[in-house]
Amino acid sequence: AHGPLHGMRNILGVLVGLVDKAELSAEELSSVNEAITTMSECYGTIDGAMHHGETPDYAAEAEKLDAAMAALEAAAGQGAGGSEN
């Protein structure tokens, strides 16, 4: 699981660049950037535990990750003049 975890953090880095090109309102942009930061921090916490030979506490990060993903999904549905599905 460690390799894919690093992959997710790389994907979040790419997403930051894509967000800059998206047609989002200031509120949506703020929400998306906050979600990306939250997800990166959560994955960083899990990654840090792995690097220290500890068992990551996935449950402790799950709620924050779910909320951040919901914010990204909401923005994807509303961005660039789209409508939520």
User: In this predicted model, which residue has the larger pLDDT, 34 or 78?
Assistant: 34
Cβ–Cβ < 8 Å for 81, 25: no
Average pLDDT over residues 1-17: 85
Cα(46)–Cα(82) distance, integer angstroms: 34
Segment 45-66, tens digit of pLDDT: 999 999 999 999 999 999 999 9
Residue 82 confidence class, pLDDT cut points 50, 70, 90? very low
Who has greater pLDDT, 1 or 26? 26
Q: What is the pLDDT of residue 1?
A: 65
